[in-house]
Structure 1
Amino acid sequence: MRRLTTVAVASVMALSAATPASAAEPSAAQGAWRPAPQASYDLPAGARCDFAVHTQPVVDEVRKLVLDTYPDGRPKRELYAGDLILEITNTQTGASTRADAGGTTMIDYHADGSMTWYAVGPVMAGFRAGGGTLPRGLYILDGVYTLDIAADGYKTVDMIQGSTRDLCADVA
């Protein structure tokens, strides 16, 4: 599995490095890079942190490229890349932190509704109580890793090389 993951991550790095800057511009052409904006959102107390949080992009230059589709046109494999800085705020105290979540990720969408992320660099992921290999919280996963998300939402992180940052602790 590690060899497969390493090859997939190397492919993500090669694809993102080989894309000229002009390819990042949105176009009507099939297979073109397109903006993939991150929406602001609120989570109630207990959903990810002990307190309610608001997450808002401060810098959002994320774009995606559809690499493969199912016969019905749904994406089968996509590549995401671009700068993303998020501000996470404890809505009870006003404490906030900024986090770089601008990693490069190739996502395989499986027919059963599950997905596998092959990532290099920082990505934010939330975990519900009992919902994965990390405790409930909001995390920045950074390094080289895979994130398997089962059809029921259970998340499994396989950190090949890297770290996790607990954003709930940063704004507690």
Structure 2
Amino acid sequence: MRRTLLAPLALGAVLLGTQPAAAHAPGWESASATAGPTAPRWEPAPSAPWDVGAGVRCDFPVHGEPVVDEVEQRVLSTHPDGSVRRVAYRGDLVVRVTNTATGASHDADVSGSAVVDHRRDGSQLWAVRGPVLVGVGEGRGSLPRGLYVVDGVFTMDIGADGFKDVRLVHGTTEDLCARID
């Protein structure tokens, strides 16, 4: 199994065009005047099993279920109302993707890391390093309808309407629908 480390916040800053969370951002507490700031804690961020019907992502119904799930999240900053603004994710995640019509399955290693900006309008900007699982509906993204492992260094801008614009800086896409057809 592949293990990817969380990209430094500097990578997120470069990909997002913003600055890393400052030491005095919400969620950072000063341990003492001499010890410096204490980072927010990493917390488990488990993935739930999911199902999509035929034609939604693949031509057939698909079930996804984590078989390894060690994903953690760390809130890096919040909006003034306390809602999450920026969060980092890391950890091993392997999802068994199954064609429920035939039983064909594949264990997809999607153990990437990401820094996600949650915008006030409900949209999100992901700065990603390593593989993640991306599902795209018909006409709902820069990739054709499907279910993909997108691996490499890339951004994914998810509009408030759910449109997913994946922009690879360097990487690959693997079509899971073709793999389990």
Shorter-chain TM-score bucket reads 0.7 to 0.9
Q: Percentage identity across aligned positions?
A: 51
Give the drift of 1:30: 8.3
Residue 38 of structure 1: aligned partner: 47
Residue 14 of structure 2: aligned partner: 7
Greater gyration radius:
2
Question: What is the TM-score of this pair, normalised by structure 1?
Answer: 0.84
Give the drift of 1:31: 2.2
Indicate the SS of the match to 2:177.
Answer: helix
Distance 2:176 2:87 in 1: 27
Structure 2, unaligned stretches of length 5 or more? Answer: 1-10, 21-37
Q: Of the candidates 76, 82, 107, which is equivalent to residue 116 of structure 2?
A: 107
Give the drift of 1:6: 7.2
Distance 2:170 2:49 in 1: 29
Asked whether 1:130 is paired with 2:139, we answer yes
What is the correspondence of 1:20-39 to structure 2 with a 5 Å cutoff?
A: 31-39=40-48
Structure 1, unaligned stretches of length 5 or more? Answer: 13-28
Give the drift of 1:8: 3.8
Q: What RMSD, in angstroms, separates the aligned Cα atoms of the two structures?
A: 2.0
Give the drift of 1:147: 0.2
Kept after mapping to 2: 8 A contact 1:77/1:109: yes
Q: Which amino acid aligns with 1:127?
A: V
Give the drift of 1:5: 6.6
Give the drift of 1:32: 1.0
Q: Structure 1 pair 74/6, CA: closer, same or farther in 2 (3 Å)?
A: closer
Q: Of the candidates 160, 163, 176, which is equivalent to residue 167 of structure 1?
A: 176
Question: What is the TM-score of this pair, normalised by structure 2?
Answer: 0.80
Indicate the SS of the match to 2:178.
Answer: helix
